[in-house]
Structure 1
């Protein structure tokens, strides 16, 4: 692209360009016979859930994962015996013609890592618990005492590095936000900087020993923390003139179903948009062979992306990409300012619309009481286009229509116009309090900028036709910041007739990537699908789009409207049926708006890994559960058959329980 300018990124550089898609060129590391990083494709991987001592079961599951698209397979090795059994698993796989590189997952046991490194193609170590402990203690360090701790880690870690060098084994230094050691948290804090420094301590040891077959990861269940940590890591590698090591991307404990996919895409997709990432693992509380196709959908979107339409580069970036801060915007009615981001649901394309049925967008009409009720996923606005709603809407729900239709409306007070740029510049009639202006980045010019700057009735609705959609809309926000325009902005995205799972991933990436950086006062997802559907289908489609909008806002941590489940994806360490238990807990608690519940299969994914959770349900032995409030143990060794009831009692005692109401199901 001609005319590309050099970008100066606030607080340091974390990607090649914010507006032109360029994949970061990392150091290439070969794992087995399969290269990772450099010019190699972005690789797909996942992790087994079968007990590692079950050789036949592990082999069968690995084969299913490979056939689903996994290019690397990780297997837990919590102790020496599991590490040793990796040899049997590998031998059987090779004898059956499967040469997929295997990765040993290590946490508390260096001796298991040292054995596994002699057997498999890669080991993963977690700096937070490889040589440290976590008791949530605050420790005061002098520089000398801290250096002594780092030297202690060097002695513990060096044998593994030497074995990896000798056997040609690769290593992932995988930091998890929830398992930062007390030492790191005391020195740097419970934040992205602490995550990065935790990995860099181990990485510097590797470089001192001339070992470079390293992959890095910065996983968190909080998407804001996860994205900021990866960005900061890239900046620090460049700042310290370290090798550009390849990155393993993942949102840890993303959950199951739609929520797990949305959360994964918000975190992983945001980084992929900026060219970061060399391998992806989507962590779902589902069978591992279901993870690879989701990861592949995310990755495939960037094949050929570099040929997108030109976007004017940003010379300076007027926001901090390493810390969350919501863009300051004026308040126009209930949009912008300190209001939560709003949801606009698009009903303009309905065939023969029957608006009376608004259940699909969270508004329920109760005929016996002749009144409306709204649930936690009730849309804030509906866009009717040129098909006005023929009845009075329920309180709290407002209608937006095309300006040409609004001009002739009987009620110009309770309905709001959506104007084109030509209509707005043409000084046509407007609403006295709230007007929506639909525009794209290319529409911004000096005349329009001067007109909108002082319009206190205006909400911008930004759209794009660029394949590189999120960066173009991000560039729009940068332009507003440069021009000191504080109007609230609704992020609008439209999609072709694509399957729901792809829709979840694409929209979560495009919208979530902006929300992560504090950009956006609302979400508007539009589709062509409704034009082609019968009534029964459009009810399902409008519900999908409405719920997806709320799901993206929740995953980006900008509007909490439902219960959040921080559940690990299960592995050979899990002490109960994680999928069944998660479903059971969800059935009992999914009406608790804004409450976060961690569901962890074992203590490795225990209180640290669910750092964001209000309450925790953690396997502590066969048939035994430990229950947490935050990071505090409330009850130990609770029989699993009673554990959900006991969890609910803890929530009740904390004053966060509300009775579940029966609502009409769609």
Structure 2
């Protein structure tokens, strides 16, 4: 991988029906049905909608042998109507189901956390090395016959690790960690290599974007150490719906795509499956547009660790940098100073106009040429104005700088002025590479000035801005470089306050600043035990004002308690029309009738959050 320049990682080619992935193939898009796999007609119609939206693979849940066997009917029906799109069976808990599904699906997904290991109990267990080795041998004894079935039927497999479903065995030795997720995957991959079965795709997912990105980076590093180059399926689980789902997915998936990782993706939204595919297409197309860009000669700082980054050390300038949360700067060059109460920017950049009707709780930034020393107004310069910056006595200054503009003169100036906040800007096709170049140059020069990223767009559609801005900021946040974001969309197509909301949403999705309630909600599948979309809407209507609260909304128990482990409260499908409620990892009420469950969730929150208005 080239840290500053975009190149696709070279993975081996894997054959999934008539639509191979990896190798020189384009990044493939997929989605998953949320209808019962026993309902052939409903699955076929939904699969057709996914395909017509641009989906190249369709996944279906197969919770039992009956569902696995019915894949045959679904497959036949689709083929008879002229659809050759490969089907993927999603298997949990029962390896016998995987054996059957391999006969009728072009690819079978298995979860190492529950393929052979007992269902997790979140209890600490102790294993000697000998006992641990015996457990691995149990996996081998059950897994190899499945691989033989796949060989005979030319069926691909996906080894799909989820953060929420690591086995107690793995957690006993590695904890609930990225390293544990990687080892859970590698145990199965090593068996595949030993058995010369290479038709394998890997996914390693989490609803926490920080965990997801770190884990995939670690996995790729470990595969390279062991001489493996299997293709990757990317996704952020339980990303939610609407704006949050799009930002969270683009941030996590986009950060990895931007580093050339990923051969197929799914954007998991709590919406109709076909709605996921256009979002995935926009994301892939945006990142792929960086191919063959002008070379960026970056120099990586020795102290930086790509697989385990920490926040870059900076000296705080007022409330920017140091241990402070990343700030949001809003560009208001049209004179409109109206702000949202919930998504109020920390600073407003006004350009060449001194702001009127100033608020005490917002800082204002103006170009150095018009700065008059007014209280709570701060000057900004560019690298052609270093003399003016040097002679300016303001306690805080902003310097807009490009990668090429961070030259010897600018570096010398910064060494004399620790009170300068840098605002990185770029017009490069791969702006991420240049922004990384700036951050690493600062580290190499021993400079500790805070670093804010100026992300400039000209989008007419809110969704396009959400996807592009999140994709551009993802790696910068995960690498530990983000002391703030200045998100600006030129034109009047998207309101300024909406742009501010997106900026706050990006920081929250990256787990660096919380400004609203977070919903960890699954996209739904044939296992879902209730009407997911309407339930999410009802819960959001009652709780969206609760800043800082995390609420898990999960369709079933497959990943439910585990994937929402860091949620404050959980709403999990326990059976058809039945709901269980959780406080943290503890189930506090089981099998509530669906029609009563939302009200009981609200009552639970009220009882435990007296300071929040529910």
**Aligned-partner Cα distance in 1 for 2:24–2:483:** 38
1:139-172 deviation line (CA, Å, top 9, x unaligned):
1111111001111111122221111111110000
- Correspondent of 2:431 among 469, 474, 478: 469
Structure 1 counterpart of 2:174: 188
Give the superposition deviation at 1:217. 0.8
The gaps in structure 1 that reach 5 residues or longer are 1-15, 363-374, 531-536, 661-666
Contact in 2 for aligned 1:512/1:553 (Cα 8 Å)? no
**Aligned-partner Cα distance in 2 for 1:445–1:428:** 16
1:202-245 deviation line (CA, Å, top 9, x unaligned):
1111111111100001100111110111111111011112x300
- Correspondent of 1:432 among 382, 390, 394: 394
- Correspondent of 2:237 among 247, 252, 255: 252
Give the superposition deviation at 1:279. 0.3
Alignment of 1:73-152 (within 5 A): 73-132=58-117, 133-152=119-138
- Correspondent of 1:235 among 221, 225, 234: 221
Structure 2 counterpart of 1:279: 264
Structure 2 counterpart of 1:487: 449
Give the superposition deviation at 1:650. 2.2
Q: Does 1:626 align with 2:580?
A: yes
Structure 1 counterpart of 2:384: 422
Q: Does 1:204 align with 2:211?
A: no
Give the superposition deviation at 1:649. 2.5
- Correspondent of 2:419 among 457, 466, 469: 457
Give the superposition deviation at 1:432. 2.5
Q: Helix, strand or coil: the match of 1:111? A: helix
**Aligned-partner Cα distance in 1 for 2:124–2:81:** 51
- With the length of structure 2 as denominator, give the TM-score of the two structures: 0.97
Structure 2 counterpart of 1:269: 254
- Correspondent of 1:405 among 370, 373, 376: 370
Alignment of 1:302-451 (within 5 A): 302-348=287-333, 350=334, 353-355=335-337, 358=338, 361-362=339-340, 375-391=341-357, 393-406=358-371, 409=372, 411-426=373-388, 429-451=391-413
Contact in 1 for aligned 2:378/2:394 (Cα 8 Å)? no
Structure 1 counterpart of 2:12: 27
**Aligned-partner Cα distance in 2 for 1:427–1:303:** 39
Give the superposition deviation at 1:414. 2.1
Structure 1 counterpart of 2:589: 635
Contact in 1 for aligned 2:301/2:441 (Cα 8 Å)? no
The Cα RMSD (Å) is 1.4
Give the superposition deviation at 1:627. 0.5
Give the superposition deviation at 1:76. 0.4
1:566-608 deviation line (CA, Å, top 9, x unaligned):
0000001101011110111011111111111110011113101
Contact in 1 for aligned 2:234/2:262 (Cα 8 Å)? yes
Give the superposition deviation at 1:318. 2.8
Contact in 2 for aligned 1:318/1:478 (Cα 8 Å)? no
Contact in 2 for aligned 1:347/1:384 (Cα 8 Å)? yes
Change in 2 beyond 3 A, CA 1:431/1:583: farther
Alignment of 1:496-511 (within 5 A): 496-511=458-473
Q: Does 1:529 align with 2:491?
A: yes
Change in 2 beyond 3 A, CA 1:431/1:263: farther
**Aligned-partner Cα distance in 1 for 2:581–2:392:** 57
Change in 2 beyond 3 A, CA 1:632/1:230: same
- Correspondent of 1:43 among 16, 28, 34: 28
Q: Helix, strand or coil: the match of 1:294? A: helix
**Aligned-partner Cα distance in 2 for 1:504–1:227:** 19
- With the length of structure 1 as denominator, give the TM-score of the two structures: 0.90
Q: Helix, strand or coil: the match of 1:604? A: coil
Contact in 1 for aligned 2:554/2:573 (Cα 8 Å)? yes
Q: Does 1:566 align with 2:566?
A: no
Contact in 2 for aligned 1:48/1:61 (Cα 8 Å)? yes
Change in 2 beyond 3 A, CA 1:308/1:87: same
**Aligned-partner Cα distance in 2 for 1:609–1:82:** 25
**Aligned-partner Cα distance in 1 for 2:383–2:290:** 29
**Aligned-partner Cα distance in 2 for 1:460–1:342:** 13
**Aligned-partner Cα distance in 1 for 2:412–2:124:** 53
Alignment size in residue pairs: 613
Q: Helix, strand or coil: the match of 1:323? A: coil
Contact in 1 for aligned 2:162/2:559 (Cα 8 Å)? no
Contact in 2 for aligned 1:129/1:181 (Cα 8 Å)? yes
Give the superposition deviation at 1:130. 1.1
Give the superposition deviation at 1:656. 6.0
**Aligned-partner Cα distance in 2 for 1:657–1:40:** 54
Give the superposition deviation at 1:427. 5.0
Change in 2 beyond 3 A, CA 1:656/1:345: farther
- Correspondent of 1:153 among 139, 145, 169: 139
**Aligned-partner Cα distance in 2 for 1:120–1:552:** 37
**Aligned-partner Cα distance in 2 for 1:204–1:165:** 17
**Aligned-partner Cα distance in 2 for 1:557–1:253:** 15
Contact in 2 for aligned 1:128/1:181 (Cα 8 Å)? yes
My pick for the range that moved more, 640-649 or 25-34, is 640-649
